Structure 1
Amino acid sequence: MLTEEFKQKTLEDLEKQKYSAFEAEELDETFKAEVRAWLKTEGIYHFDFYRHRRNTTRYFIAFQEAEIAEKRFRIYSENQNFVGKFLPFACALMILLLTVVFMQYGSSSLPERGVIRSLMNASVVILIPFFIGMLFEYLASVGEPNLSFWRASKEAVVGCLLILVVSILVLREGVICLVMLGPLAFAALFAGSGVMQLICVYFWQPTNKIYSLSILPLLLCLFLPDFSKDYYGQTQREMIIHAPQEQVFKAINQIGPIQANEVPNSFIFKMGFPKPIFGMTEQRAEGMVRTIQWERGVKFEERVQAMHAPYLLSWDYHFTPHSFPKGSMDDHVEVGGQYFDLLKTDYQLEKIDAQTTKLVLTIDYRVSTEFNWYSKLWVNYVLGEFSDVVMTIHKNRLE
């Protein structure tokens, strides 16, 4: 209930400094309604309620142009019911999710380039998580905005869990894609949460118009051209093997069956990449060919382009539609596919002494996405790890 002392102090403060501070355990809707009704009788309409940033019991009644020394957060006066608060949020979130599903399952009947693109584009991988982060943060800020790093992180985690569930249950994405794209999606989610925090705190009161942003990723996917470019990179790993150069050269040509206990532990296998199980070089009519087999039925050929024993072995790759059976790897990271390809690989053997050889493995690759700056980080890591695994197998067998 408003006291005469409170009314007098408030009017004097508003006239002198355009804001009035007061203490309260909690600022409920009943009290705010009483203040608004009373100030309306005094001819005062354009004001709002604010709360001190650190002192949660200190509040302000202030005109919008008031300059308050203490950092404060606006207390939104809109008291929406459950439907008014969550229904627009649910609709906006559904639009974003349907955009992703449409990109996954509805693009087969449309042109591949220019009109509709796959999930591996910036609109889906970056913009949709960004807007999901904005939506979750806006929902949390409707009652009262709060410029908090931890709350932005929490909203990003909630959004990331949602994306994870949709990716597994609806899009049937594999672990490899989830691990690779997870950090990028989380960064976009966090950025979206942070941007929405700034907007809610400093610029305007809540409005359901913000939910119309959810249609933007779909429009961008439909009308923006494909910005993906081909990036050609190279990884290189070297290892010292205590064995004669001739023995090392023979070993990398005649790999044979690889037992499970020969394959070193690596995080790439926990991600879902298949392990090597066989390799052999043989002479054919068309030339020397290396036959390579991995787990889950993966089988392809490496056609030798240069062999200078015992110094150099170089090859390129030949993949067929049956090289990677369904489910052997994620579609978006399939070797020889739209987004990634292996181009050329070579072993260089340098003789250090009669019983020591330096083995250098170089791999040339192509990556084609709209965010090659990020994709190439993962490609370099995966190829580097795989190179270490293969050379360690040779090292353990020869030493």
Structure 2
Amino acid sequence: MVSPLTLMRLLRLLRRCGALLLGAALALTPFSLAQAERLKDLVSIQGVRDNPLIGYGLVVGLDGTGDQTMQTPFTTQTLSNMLANLGISINNAGPGGSGGGGASNMQLKNVAAVMVTAKLPAFSRPGEAIDVTVSSLGNAKSLRGGTLLLTPLKGADGQVYALSQGNLAVGGAGASANGSKVQVNQLAAGRIAGGAIVERAVPTMVSQGGTIQLELNEMDYDTTQRIVGAVNRTFGDGTANALDGRTIQLRAPADTAQQVAFMAQLQNLDVKPAQAAAKVILNARTGSIVMNQMVTLQNCAVAHGNLSVVINTQPVVSQPGAFSNGQTVVAQQSQIQMKQDNGALKYITAGANLAEVVKALNALGATPADLMSILQAMKAAGALRAELEII
């Protein structure tokens, strides 16, 4: 027979065990969910995209940092044409007569020719404001404090889709005096938040014949099949159908309002993507090397040595003898040294994870530039189990 005291102790122990199990379950739940990604992060909707816009305009109000008109004649030509459209005629005598050539004698330091670029988002309607980027086209020193004049922004078809105008925000500063110059960040480009007004809408076709197509950001048959399975489990069999390793066709509702609700629920689905392919990225310009966790090495032996050539040139004065009527001559004497570091043969064992791969490569004591050659040689020898990409 169990005493009341023993029974109370047993109940307390069960409560503690239950609390520990609950805490462990709560701790494991975010970890398991963290492996899955939302569908909106894996795919894009076919037909829903941005449209690039471009325009040419003038920035005025600069503090003497504009284009040098003698080297950028198109700035004065543009300003002359704009003033002519406003009813102001410039009658300067110049080699071009009237019009743009007549403005060749103008010395403008507060005006700069610029290119204006923007992105027209999908489903944009006339009257909406979009951001624009303004970049100097000539030799202006700075666009800081300038104002962009009315500039039409055109698409690839030559049609005007937006009108841009406003004050620039340049994220930099600079000063120069007596040949000295100090500059922080880039001063020849700026941005206008909400600086363009949409004037024409671009038709966006999401549903065609009652179907919507999704495109994976990266082609993968395994991930495509997992997305199809997750969609069909949520919305019913036959809702999603894989066309290839990148494209998925969906059977969407016919009503537009139901399509919005359908896509909102669809994009929040959690899908666990397939493991990424093993890849090593080499940046030849900066010497950066990046590899993902799927990269592995096979058993191999590597010998690496550096060859350096040092040339040291020193002036040597040749002084003639007394009463020889000779001249003092300065000659250059060069010394060339060639040094080659010993490249010991090192054995690298197979690495099962990224940490072991990095440890094996660091054991060679090579620089990032040397590692590029080593990784390429490993790939050619079949010891590097990864795709090698040079950017």
TM-score for both structures, normalised by structure 2? 0.18
The structure with more radius of gyration: 2
User: Whose helix proportion is higher, 1 or 2?
Assistant: 1
User: Whose strand proportion is higher, 1 or 2?
Assistant: 2
TM-score for both structures, normalised by structure 1? 0.18
